[in-house]
Structure 1
């Protein structure tokens, strides 16, 4: 199932349509007129670039709170990392995202799962605490774990234990996982 965020009008810095499939996504609510945002954006950019160098599947989506398209473009093109943005012309979609995720102040960085559900609203603190590339990878690993959904991946062994028999049938693996959960009363 594709993420509902994939239906958003996402653009890269060149204005081309962006793709978030197979990536851990964080929504970045920010604006050029916001001093804390302008202070945080360079740290987020460094965090993002170190993860990309490590080959991590991350994507940031900038959700602008700017008042004009000129302000949005200037801020996005000059100060942001090489990530995506919700097209500035999609005002309804940007407002709906702010409401959906309960954004009451900026900057705000919210990590979401493949269904668009928030899994971490402490992204800003995680980025601020990642003072080295190794720390960035460690923070990202926590995001990746929280955003993952075992029901969407077939796995490689029944029961998830090493040494368990392998199964080539994704449905059998899912059934075994569900049966194990039911046994535990979960």
Structure 2
């Protein structure tokens, strides 16, 4: 399976979407599913609260709709201003469902830095129980931690090197270079 970043992601206006530098959650849903239609407004409110708070989050809608018209109606009229896997990419949508073991919808899965489901997160429950922007922000902190955002782990060591070899936390270029070097060692 290709990385999430290589998926054909679209915005509501049809332009290409980007997930770089964001905590990502996959939203498996369909217009014909009553529980999905009940959950989507809560997810939209949760997402908007995080975005208003400046959080780097992205939801990717993975449609289980039968027709492109149903997909478009649901995505454009009821979803938040997030991304979707292009409806024409049926094979990619099916691969994602299999890869993440989706057996029912709605399903909301936070993806970790390795492109796998963040096991410690019940994202759907987090969204359903968020009653305020503060609740959403608190849930997002757990999502970021589970996603393994290496930029948010101050004091950890990149690539198993000694602490003295780790660049200063404020030096983004040096951190990126150290991370790339560590990834090259694993290859």
TM-score, structure 1 normalization: 0.81
Matched with 1:83 is 82
Does residue 4 of structure 2 align to residue 5 of structure 1?
yes
Matched with 1:123 is 123
CA distance in structure 2 between the aligned counterparts of 1:83 and 1:20, rounded to whole angstroms: 10
Contact kept? 1:158, 1:167, Cα under 8 Å = no
Matched with 2:132 is 132
Matched with 1:26 is 25
| 1:129–1:69 Cα change, 3 Å | same
Matched with 1:50 is 49
1:94 deviates by 0.2
1:113 deviates by 1.7
Contact kept? 1:111, 1:119, Cα under 8 Å = yes
| 1:97–1:172 Cα change, 3 Å | closer
Contact kept? 1:61, 1:86, Cα under 8 Å = yes
Matched with 1:37 is 36
1:115 deviates by 2.6
CA distance in structure 2 between the aligned counterparts of 1:171 and 1:77, rounded to whole angstroms: 37
Gaps in structure 1 of 5+ consecutive residues: 175-186
Partner SS for 1:81: coil
CA distance in structure 1 between the aligned counterparts of 2:139 and 2:156, rounded to whole angstroms: 29
Partner SS for 2:118: strand
Corresponding residue pairs, total: 167
Q: CA RMSD in A?
A: 2.6
| 1:141–1:74 Cα change, 3 Å | same
